[in-house]
A and B are shown apart, each in its own frame.
Chain A
Amino acid sequence: MSKFKFKKATKTPEVSTASLPDIVFMLLFFFMTVTVMKEDTLKVVNELPNATEIKKLEKKDRVITIYIGKPVDKFQETQGEQAKIQMEDSFVNLSDLGARVLEAVNEKPEHLRAFIAISLKVDKKASMGLIADVKEELRIVNALKINYTTYEGDTSKNLE
């Protein structure tokens, strides 16, 4: 009798899924930390340009955001195809912008009002004409600290 028995065909061992929860948790924590909850519903196309020499916008509580871009498809019938200004959740005319900015400033607590920064989130395909007008309006209401909000990245992508 031979000493070696032929083993029966063994089953392939199952992959242990015990570490699956750990992996999922890791992903979960990643997304939890990078998530910034959207504050406003965008009504304009808002693909920001890239820049490298950027600074972080510190302290969210003293930032007022102005969006500029073409209205999204849904609003093109009523608003036209020209680039529009959006503040909070509504479209703003250029002539009302100053008043709206002052209003937004006055909603901030008093001790922060001197440090208000305007974050301009402008679509990279917008033209400078409207932005020059917006800057002029901001100068009139004395909101001088602005930030051209961008993504971090190579500027050559801005031309596409």
Chain B
Amino acid sequence: MARRLEAPEVNAGSMADIAFLLLIFFLVTTSIETDVGLDRMLPRKELIKVPPVIAERNILPVLINGEDQLMVDGDRVELNELKGLTIAFLDNGGASRESDNYCAYCQGNRDMKSSDNPDRAIVSLMSSRQTTYGVYIAVQNELMLAYNSLRDRESQRRYKTDFTFLEAAYSSSETPNILKSEIKEKMRSIQKLYPIKLSEAARQ
């Protein structure tokens, strides 16, 4: 009787070479590109422009000059001070307890000379044409940090989670749709408490 022949083994010795070849191909073609960034909405181009009247106390002017120096509310400041100043301004809640604009959740100094409430507070970012883009992004980032930390605080107080965590959960594809609408509701409410009101202008 003929013995059953065993199937000959495939030589796997060259497997490593093949894998190396592929590896080197991907190494060469890889350029770790980025797909993250700061989202912004540009203001709509209106045909009739009537500038709304805004009280000076509700505006935080942030200026970057051509030498990349920073001025906030008339004082020269360093970049690392910007976040604190912005939070103090947004969270001030200067409107009196009796007025309609009273901000119940604000924890700021309630200075009458600063913003009424976060909904009215506008950060006005002005940059020179000579400003370096890197610095501009750094400033934008600091401003976003200020907004996000305030939003995180309110979100922690109300829903016991960070706002940034909610955002991440909302954009994640693993979150089921039923949860998403609930998260969206939460995000909306927080965004309403601290809306991002950023006005931009370039100066000559």
Within 8 A of A (CB), among B116-145: 127-138, 140-142, 144-145
Determine whether the beta carbon of A51 is less than 8 Å from that of B141.
Answer: yes
Interface residue from B19, B33, B42, B142 paired with A139 (Cβ < 8 Å): B42
> In which size bucket is the chain A interface?
35 or more
* Distance (whole angstroms) from the CB of B197 to the closest CB of chain A: 16
Given contacts A128-B133, A155-B137, A158-B134, contact A31 B37 (CB under 8 A): no
* Size of the chain B interface, CB-CB below 8 angstroms: 50
Using CB atoms, name the residue of chain B closest to A52: B141
Query: Would you call A125 an interface residue if the criterion is a C-beta within 8 Å of the partner chain's C-beta atoms?
Result: yes
Main secondary structure of the interface of A (DSSP, over half): mixed
Total contacts A-B at CB 8 Å: 167
Within 8 A of B (CB), among A12-44: 17, 20-21, 24-25, 27-28, 31-32, 34-38
Query: A23 to B162, alpha carbons, bound, how many Å?
Result: 39
* Distance (whole angstroms) from the CB of A114 to the closest CB of chain B: 14
Interface residue from A17, A35, A55, A129 paired with B38 (Cβ < 8 Å): A55
Query: Would you call A132 an interface residue if the criterion is a C-beta within 8 Å of the partner chain's C-beta atoms?
Result: yes
Determine whether the beta carbon of A55 is less than 8 Å from that of B42.
Answer: no
Query: Would you call B167 an interface residue if the criterion is a C-beta within 8 Å of the partner chain's C-beta atoms?
Result: yes
Using CB atoms, name the residue of chain A closest to B128: A128
Determine whether the beta carbon of B137 is less than 8 Å from that of A158.
Answer: yes
Using CB atoms, name the residue of chain A closest to B141: A51
Query: Would you call B11 an interface residue if the criterion is a C-beta within 8 Å of the partner chain's C-beta atoms?
Result: no
Proximity bits, B13-44, A CB within 8 Å = 1, else 0: 00110011011001101111111111111111
Query: A73 to B10, alpha carbons, bound, how many Å?
Result: 52
Determine whether the beta carbon of A55 is less than 8 Å from that of B171.
Answer: yes
Residues of A within 8 A of B15 (CB): 21
Query: Would you call A49 an interface residue if the criterion is a C-beta within 8 Å of the partner chain's C-beta atoms?
Result: yes
Query: Would you call A150 an interface residue if the criterion is a C-beta within 8 Å of the partner chain's C-beta atoms?
Result: yes
Determine whether the beta carbon of B37 is less than 8 Å from that of A119.
Answer: yes
Interface residue from B16, B23, B26, B129 paired with A128 (Cβ < 8 Å): B129
Query: A8 to B7, alpha carbons, bound, how many Å?
Result: 40
Determine whether the beta carbon of A139 is less than 8 Å from that of B130.
Answer: no
Using CB atoms, name the residue of chain A closest to B42: A144
Using CB atoms, name the residue of chain A closest to B130: A127
Query: Would you call B191 an interface residue if the criterion is a C-beta within 8 Å of the partner chain's C-beta atoms?
Result: no
Query: Would you call A75 an interface residue if the criterion is a C-beta within 8 Å of the partner chain's C-beta atoms?
Result: no
Query: Would you call A140 an interface residue if the criterion is a C-beta within 8 Å of the partner chain's C-beta atoms?
Result: yes
Interface residue from A28, A117, A122, A155 paired with B23 (Cβ < 8 Å): A28
Residues of A within 8 A of B142 (CB): 155
Interface residue from A38, A56, A129, A140 paired with B35 (Cβ < 8 Å): A56
Determine whether the beta carbon of B26 is less than 8 Å from that of A146.
Answer: no
Query: Would you call A123 an interface residue if the criterion is a C-beta within 8 Å of the partner chain's C-beta atoms?
Result: yes
Determine whether the beta carbon of B131 is less than 8 Å from that of A145.
Answer: no
Interface residue from B16, B34, B44, B138 paired with A151 (Cβ < 8 Å): B34
Known: A138-B42, A140-B45. 6 other contacts (CB 8 A): A37-B29, A48-B34, A54-B36, A55-B36, A144-B44, A155-B138
29 contacts between A and B (CB under 8 A): A17-B16, A20-B16, A27-B23, A34-B30, A35-B30, A36-B32, A37-B29, A38-B33, A50-B137, A52-B145, A53-B145, A55-B36, A55-B171, A57-B35, A57-B37, A126-B133, A127-B132, A129-B130, A131-B136, A132-B127, A145-B39, A146-B39, A147-B39, A148-B140, A150-B34, A150-B38, A150-B137, A158-B134, A159-B68
